[in-house]
Structure 1
Amino acid sequence: MYLNVHSQYSLRYGTMPIPKLVEEAAARGITQMVLTDINNSTGIMEFMRECDEKAVKPIGGIEFRRDKHLLYIGIAQNREGMKELNDFLTEHNLEKKPLPVIAPAFKYAFTIYAYGHQAELKKNEYLGIRFDQLNQLFNKDLLALKDKLVALQPVFVLDKIEYRLHEYLRGIDLNALLTLVKPEDKCTPTDMFLPPGQLEAKFSRYAFILDNTRKLMNSCIMDYPKGRINLNRRTFTGNKKNDKELLEKLAMSGMEYRYGKSNKEALKKVKHELKVIYELDFCAYFLITWDIIRYSSSQGYYHVGRGSGANSIVAYCLKITDVDPIELNLYFERFLNAQRTSPPDFDIDYSWDEREDVQDYIFKRYGSQHTALLGTMSTFKDRSIIREIGKVMGLPKSEIDGFTDQTRAAVNRNNATFKKITAIYERMANMPNQRSIHAGGVLISEDPITYYTALDLPPKGMATVQWDMYEAEKIGFDKYDILSQRGIGHIKMAVKLVEENQQRKIDIHQVKLFMKDPVVNAQLRTGNTIGCFYIESPAMRQLIRKLNCDNYLVLVAASSIIRPGVASSGMMGAYIKYHHAPETVNYLHPVMEDQLKETYGVMVYQEDVIKICIHFAGMDGTDADILRRGMSGKYRSKKEFDRLVERFFEEAKKLGRPDDVVAEVWRQVSSFAGYSFSKAHSASFAVESYQSLFLKTYYPKEFMVAVLNNYGGFYNRALYVHELQKSGANVHLPCVNHSDSIVNIMGSDVYLGFVGVHGLTDTFITSIPEERQENGLYLSLEDLVKRTGLGLEQAIILIRVGALRFTGKNKKELLWEVHLLMGAKVRVTNDNELFKLEAKNYSLPVLVNTDLENAYHELEILGFSLSISMFDLLETDYRGELSANDLINHIGQMVRMVGLYVCEKTVHTKTGKNMWFGTFLDAEGNFFDTVHFPNSTPAYPFRGAGCYLMFGKVVQEFGFASIEVLKFAKLPILANPVME
């Protein structure tokens, strides 16, 4: 009898998750019900799965609302009806049209209007009447309505407690105090499952209404296949046989390109993989990915294929990835095997400014009805919930701030208001809050995707499903990850700049040559990697130097052991130790030496777990990967996982492995697998790192300009400008006669762009260089103002940053001039004047502009000083006792250093206290690193950008020197003369 049931997916309205909703219904003996969440079908497929488990008949529907008011309820008669409802909602979402007051005539769906609706009802339309409205039927002629009335008992909450939670959700949604939430903005206190028999009893005088309701529900059947089936586009060519032949042809051609004509090992691997791909029906998945790469390459876009897909030699031959799985001994089973419980996927990275075009191609190539972006569901989390609850309770901001302050936890614990908030928080935590968009997942379906979901149109402007990747996986969709990252933008632009600035063409895909280049590897070994993707962070540069890393394989390992789990387990330390002294490695068993010699017996990658399971314990590749996934908490069933653990020991025993060795190997495998990292991922990162490093080594100016123009990476803009200066570039402040919107380079001269000028509007960022290119250099301040229409405020910004220094006048003179000029209300013109009138000249007193004033202008407008270094802004001339490069010669000594703050990292000790790692530049522009332990550090040691005086002990680990800081203070700088 329940035609109007809502879950938590009726966002900020319903309170029950779908499993609980179905469980409660089953417990009350309810045999069928309709899920009708508000303006979405997010939960329909999950609802059907849960109902099947509890022997409840599921019926799908949507409650349509406009401006938060109920219009009508759509109930699907079958799969086609659900598609009709989804299509209807999708059309209005994508075209941003308001829902109509009158529903269309659905062919396979019923429409329920609330009692009181006046329009004439069509064939599949009904009036839903609530039990508290039945008195309105008294003494009324029901002949015309008798077949059109159905029982309407909405369900939003479980009980009275959840009704109170519902009120808080409504307050949050409306951004209103609880006391100001109107009755029409929330459900009624009775909108819940009634005790068994009570609903029928309430309608007992109108049995025909119950009969109509049963008849309607009995006629509905959600005729979807049960269980997970493959819902992806099933063919690329339109025919599976043709798909198979095309994939084989492409793989064989690619194998010859990658390995030559006579590589038997490669041929064997390709044939094995093709067989598995055929059997698991993944030909279309590979071919569609190949097609995406083919398109992007035709546009001149550069991509990086990474993820577990890099374990596939077929992917390597199709140029989906650039990682050679033979060279790295990668296991295909890590990517695809017959027992894999979750679909594999390729992660394809593009430059941030090219990804949307690739996505647009996919939508146009495979059809808007069959293509959509993946959604995500953000939830109520942590302190944000406390703030939201506090606001609807009407608490002042200061009190809310106190409740979210971790340092006041002990005080808050006994506060009655905080206890109330905590009780609400516990019920609201992790509830869905709003739908959003996945980072890069794309779905391509065989059938129209609206059979399974309505579509949203987020700000990105591409149709997006209403559920997330986890639900997609359960339903039967495999996603294509089309991602973006800045590192690819750096590479792409640097190659272009080298061609323009030095007339040299670079084949950036010749990575194997870069890996063998001694100059590139020497640069890697020194940790001089600022701007290089994935290897520029302080922690990574430290690790590179500790390892004396100078080759690809070690860099691949470094890219994995830097991850928190591996590092905190002690395996990173063990790897570094054995890397310097491989003769000291004590292998547990000869198999461990055979399989892990490359990493000195230390498990570094997920693939190492698979190796050991196969070669030490005698398991096959499929079971080994399932076991690995199980240890990461991703097993299909605990029972199956336990069976495989037992098999590990049984098979190892059959091979004659000693019991104590088996136990120790298992301990290492099981403790590592939970946070292990894919070698294919690491290898993909290392390939891209080498490309960046090659450019930085041979073309450092162009490379750093590219980094700046792609908005940097790990560090702030000032550091990349510093690195650009170190490369030998003459870096100039923005100039209206030389700068473009972005940073430009000509020879060794680099002009900062207008994009980095704080306060300059987008209009002038683009129009100033465009006007100059079209009509020539600017001749004066007045000429600039006339040709571009600059207002006073924008002109002052440009003057203060030094962008009009071409005039030969200092800033103070120009500021006088611009005020006089703007007072005359200069007329903007881009036309040639018939008579050019000379600007009036005024006699001004001598106005002096100091370097210190310029530095403060730059700090304010650019965020850093280019004219004067931060060290020269200090009140003191003291620069420390030694330089960063001399630290290694003072191990164990107490020293004083002065450093310019670059960045910091906060970590938590085992006792829960905070400690910090800092990175600084010395007065010579070289890096050094610091450690700040809790017992010798204030609650928060850093006070923002600037120079610090440090006193501490020089320590070293594997030849890398740093300072354990005991005392730490920020140094004052010279006062701003303008402010005095």
Structure 2
Amino acid sequence: MSFVHLHNHSHYSILTALAKPQQYVQIAKNQGATAVALTDSGVMYGAIEFYKAAKAAGIKPILGVEMNVAPLGLANKTPENRYSSLVLLARNNVGYHNLLKLSTIAALEGFYYKPRIDDSVLAEHAEGLIGLSGSLNGVIPKAILDNNLPGAKEAILKYQKIFGKEFFFLELQHHPEIANWSIVNSKLLELAKETGAPPVAANDCHYAVTEDAEAHDVLICVQTQRTVDDEHRFKFVGNYSMRSPEDMVEAFQFCPEAVENTVKIAEMCKVEIEFGQQQIPNFETGKVKPEKYLRELCEKGFEDRYGKSGSIGFTEHEARERLDFELETVHKMGFDTYFLIVHDFIRHAKESGVVVGPGRGSAAGSIIAYCLRITELDPLKYGLLFERFLNPERISMPDIDVDFADNRRDEVLDYVTKKYGEDHVAQIITFGTLAASRIFQAL
């Protein structure tokens, strides 16, 4: 019998899980699975990395997230209203975009210790999604463990209404070392009969293979600021690796339907993401086309840079040829607006007295950037190549590194946000790794 892992956490579930997305993909392929899911906690940091890896491996990627749900609403940020979990999977592209919206709302509006949504937000963005009742921290398992079966049933009916009856499943897990799972599984099967909500098997994977359990244990120690010899620390009890299909089938002999439903859910899911299409924000230029507006700015800048002070080691004709070539290349590649946007916020920063760096990286090789005063380094004087920055033979987004005074950087961000709107501006996240010294502290 086939099996598909639908509840898996990668290292993008920060300090909670250990596996790389690619590891899950490779193991799933080796196990003969037709699909595999990624469901990190509250975030979709690894979605594209995972998607590309799965496509390259020839298996279906199922994009998801284990979302934290605030039972008393997002506005209530009190300890008793922290969160309960719910696994969400994208059935189609509409569902994928709804996952993106939900994760954004969770981070920007609902954050309280962790990103959170509530049922009303979920209901607004539930189209194209499949819901699983989740781990022991889920709304329904919590109600069961509180001996509140009516509350558990009410929650099931609510989520059946939100997702559609055929798209909400009761998640069973086989961790016999945890007595509560035996209780929850038993009651979930009773509730499945009462409500018609089908069961589904999962393992809530947090590391790739069983040999990684010890390393994962150390990771949890880092998160909880405990050491491995602390007898009272939090610890994952059981096997949270990507267990083989045979192992999962054997573990769920008490409910074969739960195994079968993993494949049915996988068959429901189909997300296709297009890559390679550049989507650059608009820049208001009135009735003038962006490419003409850019040329006008560059001509003025060219006169300021080269017309008054003269040139060293090259002629004005050579400089103009270089400018014409760059403008033609930028226009062919569709990046006129990009330069206008960067020029605009750097101009604002300088006019506001914010210290701006002279230029860094390959953008210093652009005479356009020099004429627009994006950079202060003359690429002709220093023999810098434009092709290192933008290569006509290889279309990729330009990348201009800009340095602002640390104490006034937020002013520039505020300007960009106000001009283009909060829903059109985002910062790019970077991830750090744990130093060896921090690991030793947990041992």
Instruction: Bin the TM-score by the shorter chain.
Output: 0.7 to 0.9
Partner-residue secondary structure (3-state), 1:15: coil
Identity across aligned pairs (percent)? 27
Preserved contact between residue 157 and residue 191 of structure 1 (Cα < 8 Å): yes
* Selected match of 1:199 from 237, 248, 256: 248
Residues 599-634 of structure 1, C-alpha deviations (whole Å, 9 max, x = no match): xxxxxxxxxxxxxxxxxxxxxxxxxxxxxxxxxxxx
Q: Distance in 2 between matches of 1:257 and 1:168?
A: 60
Q: Equivalent residue for 2:200?
A: 150
Alignment TM-score, normalising by the size of structure 1: 0.37
Q: Work out the CA distance in 2 between the residues paired with 1:167 and 1:154.
A: 15
Q: Which amino acid aligns with 1:13?
A: T
Residue 82 of structure 1 aligns to a residue in which SS?
helix
Other-structure match for 1:93: 107
CA contact (8 A) 1:36 1:73 kept: yes
Residue matched to 1:107: 127
2:102–2:117: 8 Å Cα contact kept in structure 1?
Answer: no
Q: Determine the C-alpha separation between the residues in 1 that align with 2:197 and 2:406.
A: 58
Tell me which protein shows more strand as a share of its residues. Answer: 1
Verify the 8 A CA contact 1:63 1:70 in the aligned structure 2.
no
C-alpha displacement of 1:38: 1.6
Are 1:312 and 1:332, in contact at CA under 8 Å, matched by a contact in 2? Answer: yes
Shift of 1:97: 4.0
The partner residue of 1:269 within 316, 322, 325 is 322
Question: 1:174 Cα deviation (Å)?
Answer: 0.9
Q: Which residue number corresponds to residue 437 of structure 2?
A: 383
Corresponding position: 1:55 with 2:77: no
Closer, same or farther: CA 140–332 of 1 in aligned 2, 3 Å: closer
Q: Distance in 1 between matches of 2:418 and 2:322?
A: 35
Aligned to 1:311: 365
Return the offset for 1:295: 1.8
For the Cα contact (< 8 Å) 1:270–1:313, is it kept in 2? Answer: yes
**What one-letter code is carried by the residue in structure 2 that aligns with 1:310?**
A
Structure 1 residues 62 and 246, CA gap change in structure 2 (3 angstroms)? same
Q: Assess if the C-alpha contact under 8 Å between 2:38 and 2:62 holds in 1.
A: yes
Structure 2 residue corresponding to 1:122, chosen from 134, 138, 160:
160
Kindly tell me: are residues 138 and 45 of structure 1, through their superposed partners in 2, closer, same or farther at Cα, counting changes over 3 Å?
closer
Q: Cα gap change, 1:181/1:339 in structure 2, threshold over 3 Å: closer, same or farther?
A: farther
- The residue identity in structure 2 corresponding to 1:72 is L
Distance 2:189 2:111 in 1: 41
Q: Distance in 1 between matches of 2:352 and 2:264?
A: 58
Q: Does 1:236 align with 2:283?
A: yes
Cα distance in structure 2, aligned partners of 1:330 and 1:135: 66
1:280 is aligned to 333
Report the counterpart of residue 190 of structure 1 in structure 2.
239
Match of residue 386 from structure 2: 332
Aligned pair 1:71/2:85, yes or no? yes
Distance in 2 separating the partners of 1:138 and 1:345? 52
Code of the residue aligned with 1:156 in structure 2: it is H
2:220 to 170, 181, 189: 170
For the 8 Å contact 2:31–2:245, the answer to whether it is kept is yes
Distance 1:144 1:173, change over 3 A: same
Structure 2 gap ranges (5+)? 70-78, 135-139, 144-151, 176-181, 309-314
Q: Which residue, out of 399, 408, 421, partners 1:345?
A: 399
**Partner-residue secondary structure (3-state), 2:440:** helix
45-54 vs 104-113, which deviates more?
104-113
In the TM superposition, 1:723-872 aligns within 5 A as none
CA distance in 1, matches of 2:316, 2:435: 54
Shift in Å, 1:43: 0.7
- TM-score for both structures, normalised by structure 2: 0.77
Change (3 A) 1:232 1:146: same
Cα distance in 1 between the residues matched to 2:19 and 2:91: 24
Change (3 A) 1:302 1:155: closer
**Cα contact 1:113–1:126 (8 A) shared by 2:** yes
2:344 is aligned with 1:291:
yes
AA of the residue aligned to 1:122: Q
Q: CA contact under 8 A between 2:62 and 2:90: conserved in structure 1?
A: yes
Query: Distance in 2 between the 1:379 and 1:336 partners?
Result: 31
Q: Give 3-state SS (helix, strand or coil) of 1:172's partner.
A: helix
Which residue in 1 is equivalent to 2:263?
A: 214
Distance in 1 (CA, whole Å) between partners of 2:286 and 2:239 is 55
CA distance in 1, matches of 2:254, 2:110: 44
Task: Give the secondary structure class of the aligned counterpart of 2:245.
Answer: coil
The residue type equivalent to 2:127 in the other structure is K
- Which stretches in structure 1 are left out of the alignment for 5+ residues? 390-980
Other structure's SS at 2:107 match: helix
Query: Contact conserved, 1:77 with 1:221, CA < 8 A, in 2?
Result: yes
Aligned to 2:18: 15
Cα distance in 1 between the residues matched to 2:286 and 2:6:
43
Greater displacement, 9-18 / 92-101: 92-101
Provide Cα deviations, 1:562-614, integer angstroms capped at 9, x if missing partner.
Answer: xxxxxxxxxxxxxxxxxxxxxxxxxxxxxxxxxxxxxxxxxxxxxxxxxxxxx
Once residues 405 and 257 of structure 2 are traced to their aligned partners in structure 1, the CA distance between those partners, rounded to angstroms, is 64
Tell me which residue corresponds to 1:374: 428
Aligned AA (1:39): G
| Alpha-carbon spacing, 1:366–1:287, altered in 2? closer, same or farther (3 Å) | same
The correspondence for 2:419, drawn from 337, 341, 365, is 365
Which amino acid counterpart does residue 106 of structure 2 have in structure 1? H
In the aligned structure 2, how far is the partner of 1:235 from the partner of 1:128? 45
Flag the 1:294–1:204 CA change in 2: closer, same or farther, 3 A: same
Shift of 1:71: 1.7
Secondary structure in 1 aligned to 2:427?
strand
Once the two structures are overlaid, the 10-residue window that deviates more, 97-106 or 86-95, is 97-106
- Aligned letter for 2:243? L
Compute the displacement of 1:315 (Å): 1.4
**1:169 alignment partner, SS class:** helix
Secondary structure of the corresponding residue to residue 373 of structure 1: coil
Contact 1:71 1:101 in 2 (8 A): no
Change (3 A) 1:336 1:243: same
**Matched residue type, 2:262:** T
Paired residue secondary structure (1:176): coil
Distance 1:53 1:249 in 2: 45
Are the equivalent residues in 2 in contact too, given 1:157–1:166 (CA < 8 A)?
yes
Code of the aligned partner of 1:33:
V
1:689-721 CA-partner distances (Å, limit 9, x unpaired):
xxxxxxxxxxxxxxxxxxxxxxxxxxxxxxxxx
CA contact (8 A) 1:146 1:209 kept: no
Give the count of matched residue pairs: 386
Q: Give a deviation string over 1:318-347, Cα, whole Å, max 9, x none.
A: 122222223333322222212458644223
Structure of greater Rg:
1
CA separation in 2, counterparts of 1:197 and 1:20?
Answer: 19
* CA displacement, residues 702-753 of structure 1 (integer Å, 9 cap, x when unaligned): xxxxxxxxxxxxxxxxxxxxxxxxxxxxxxxxxxxxxxxxxxxxxxxxxxxx
Provide the residue aligned with 1:25 in structure 2: 28
Tell whether the 8 Å contact from 1:255 to 1:317 is kept in structure 2 after alignment: yes
Shift of 1:236: 2.5
Q: Give the root-mean-square deviation of aligned CA atoms.
A: 3.1
Give the drift of 1:128.
0.8
**Whole-Å separation in 2 of the counterparts to 1:363 and 1:370:** 8
Is 1:259 the counterpart of 2:306? The answer is yes
Task: Report deviation, 1:63.
Answer: 1.3
CA distance in 2, matches of 1:215, 1:3: 11
Cα 1:219–1:263 change in 2 (3 A) is same
State the distance in 2 between where 1:341 and 1:127 align: 46
Highest relative contact order (Cα 8 Å, sep 6+), 1 or 2? 2
Superimposed CA distance per residue, residues 629-678 of structure 1 (whole angstroms, 9 cap, x where no aligned partner): xxxxxxxxxxxxxxxxxxxxxxxxxxxxxxxxxxxxxxxxxxxxxxxxxx
Q: Hey, what's the Cα distance between the residues in 2 that align with 1:306 and 1:162?
A: 45
